[in-house]
C-alpha cells in the first residue's frame, strides 16, 4: 500500500499475528511455521518482527494497541482485510475467530463500512470452496479408484497441470489485491486433489490439509509469509490501478508461491503414484529437495507469471478458484 509508514506496517502485522492465534487451537507445527515466518523477516531491523511475534504470543500487545497505530482509513481497511484472510486461510472460522474479527472491525472503526463486510463474505467464500467438485460416496470413490487403477496415468499431463498451477499462483502473488493471496491456498489444495484422483484416490479437504502440513506447508503461515512480503514491499493496496504490470515489483516477492505449488505438485505425484507409502520424513525430504529445484526455475518462468497476471480479473477470483 503506497504511503504506509513503518508504524502502520508494524501495526498491520501485529493484527495479523493476533488473528493467527485468535482461536487458540493452532497445532504446534503451525505455530513453529509462524515463528519461522517472523524470523525470516528479521533483516528488517526497524520492524523487529521476531520480537513482535513474542509480544503477541505472550499477550504483551493488544488489538487496541495495533488499531491506535493505524491512522488512515485505507490502512485500517487493509489491516482488517489481511486479518480476515489470516482467519480464513485454513478454510474455517472458529467462534473465537469470529469474535476477534468483530472486535477488530469495531476497534478499527469499520462497523459501518459495508465494503468490509462484503470483503469478509467473499474471502470466506473463496476459502471455504470444497476441494472436490461434489461430495463423493464410498461406492463412487471405490469405483473411481478401480477405474484409475485400470487406466494409465498421463504423467506428462500431470506435469503440465503442475507447471500451469505454479505459474498461476506465481501470477496471483504478483497482484496487489489482498484476496489474490488468499486464493493461492485453495488452488494448491485442488491441485493435490487432482493428482490424487488421477492415481485413484478420492481425497477430502481434511486429507489434503494433512498432506500439506506433513510436507511442511502451513496454511496460516503460508498466507502470512506471502502477504507479509507484499506488505513490506509496498505491493498490497492501490498499486498501478489495481494490477501489477511492471517487472521491477518482482523484487517484492521471492516467487514463493510458484516454488511451493511446484514442489507440492511433484511430491504429491510421487506420493500417490507410489501408493502413499512414503514416511513423514521421506515426504519432508522430498519436498525440501523439490523446493530447491523449483527455486531454480522461478526466474525462467517469471515472464509467464507476469503475462498471466495481466489476464487475471481481480473481481472474478471466486469464479477462478471455483473452476481451478
User: Which of 80, 101, 127 is the endpoint of a domain?
Assistant: 127
Q: Which residues have C-beta within 8 Å of that of residue 136, sequence separation ≥ 6? A: 144, 202, 204
Confidence label for 44 from pLDDT (cuts 50, 70 and 90): low
The answer as to whether 197 is a domain residue is yes
Same domain, 164 and 63: no
Task: Tell me which residue of 92, 2, 18 sits closest to 52, measured CA to CA.
Answer: 18
Lowest mean pLDDT among 80-84, 231-235, 278-282: 231-235
Q: Domain containing 49: what range?
A: 6-127
Do 52 and 197 lie in one domain? The reply is: no
Residue 291 lies in a domain: yes
Domain assignment present for residue 161? The answer is yes
The band of 134, judged by pLDDT with boundaries at 50, 70 and 90, is: very low
Question: In the structure, what pLDDT confidence band is assigned to residue 254 with cuts at 50, 70 and 90?
Answer: low
**How far is residue 299's CA from residue 239's CA, in Å, rounded to a whole number?**
23
283 and 190, same structural domain?
yes
> Does one domain contain both 28 and 70?
yes
- State which of 92, 127, 162 marks the end of a domain: 127
In a domain, residue 132? The reply is no
DSSP string, 105-164: HHHTT-TT-HHHHHHHHHHHHHHT--SSSS---HHHHHHHHHHHHHSPP-HHHHHHHHHH
Mean residue pLDDT of the chain comes to 83
pLDDT of 220 > 60? The answer is: yes
Where does residue 145 rank: exposed (0-12), middle (13-18), buried (19+ CB within 10 A)?
Answer: middle
Instruction: Name which of 36-45, 50-59, 268-277 the model is least confident about.
Output: 36-45
Same domain (yes/no): 119, 151: no
In a domain, 133, yes or no: no
Same domain, 106 and 246: no
Query: In this model, does residue 169 exceed pLDDT 60?
Result: yes
Indicate if 76 and 223 belong to the same structural domain.
Answer: no
Local confidence band at 240 (pLDDT 50, 70, 90 cut-offs): very low
How many domains are contained in the chain?
2
Whether residue 121 is contained in a domain is answered as yes
At 307 the pLDDT is 93
Same-domain status, 73 and 188: no
* End position of a domain, from candidates 64, 93, 127: 127
pLDDT at position 284 is 93
Whether 264 contacts 192, CB under 8 Å: yes
* Predicted local confidence at residue 242, as pLDDT: 39
Q: Is residue 1 part of a domain?
A: no
Q: Are residues 78 and 198 in the same domain?
A: no
Residues 157, 101, single domain; the answer is: no
Same domain, 60 and 119: yes
- For residues 311 and 194, state if they share a domain: yes
Amino acid at each position: 500500500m503506497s504511503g504506509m509508514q513503518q508504524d502502520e506496517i508494524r501495526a498491520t502485522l501485529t493484527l495479523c499475528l493476533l488473528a493467527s492465534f485468535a482461536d487458540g487451537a493452532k497445532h504446534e507445527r503451525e505455530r513453529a511455521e509462524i515463528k519461522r515466518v517472523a524470523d525470516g523477516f528479521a533483516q528488517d531491523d526497524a520492524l523487529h518482527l521476531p520480537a513482535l511475534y513474542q509480544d503477541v504470543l505472550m499477550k504483551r500487545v493488544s488489538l487496541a494497541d495495533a488499531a491506535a497505530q493505524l491512522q488512515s482509513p485505507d490502512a485500517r481497511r487493509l489491516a482488517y482485510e489481511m486479518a480476515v484472510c489470516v482467519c480464513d486461510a485454513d478454510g474455517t472460522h472458529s467462534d473465537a475467530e469470529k469474535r476477534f474479527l468483530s472486535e477488530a472491525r469495531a476497534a478499527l472503526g469499520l462497523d459501518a463500512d459495508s465494503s468490509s463486510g462484503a470483503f469478509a463474505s467473499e474471502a470466506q467464500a473463496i476459502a471455504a470452496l470444497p476441494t472436490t467438485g461434489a461430495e463423493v460416496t464410498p461406492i463412487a470413490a471405490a469405483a473411481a479408484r478401480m477405474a484409475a487403477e485400470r487406466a494409465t496415468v498421463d504423467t506428462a499431463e500431470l506435469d503440465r497441470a503442475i507447471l500451469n498451477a505454479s505459474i498461476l499462483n506465481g501470477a496471483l502473488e504478483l497482484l496487489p489485491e489482498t484476496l489474490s493471496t488468499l486464493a493461492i491456498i485453495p488452488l494448491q489444495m485442488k491441485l493435490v486433489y487432482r493428482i490424487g484422483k488421477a492415481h485413484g484416490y478420492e481425497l477430502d479437504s481434511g486429507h489434503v490439509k494433512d498432506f500439506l502440513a506433513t510436507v511442511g506447508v502451513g496454511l496460516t503461515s503460508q498466507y502470512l509469509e506471502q502477504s507479509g512480503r507484499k506488505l513490506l514491499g509496498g505491493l498490497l493496496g492501490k498499486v498501478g490501478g489495481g494490477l501489477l504490470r511492471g517487472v521491477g515489483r518482482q523484487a517484492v516477492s521471492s516467487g514463493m508461491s510458484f516454488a511451493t505449488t511446484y514442489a507440492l505438485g511433484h511430491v504429491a505425484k510421487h506420493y500417490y503414484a507410489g501408493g502413499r507409502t512414503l514416511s513423514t520424513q521421506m515426504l519432508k525430504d522430498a519436498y525440501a529437495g523439490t523446493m530447491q529445484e523449483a527455486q531454480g526455475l522461478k526466474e525462467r518462468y517469471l515472464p509467464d507469471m507476469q503475462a498471466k497476471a495481466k489476464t487475471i480479473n481481480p473481481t472474478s477470483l471466486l469464479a477462478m478458484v471455483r473452476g481451478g
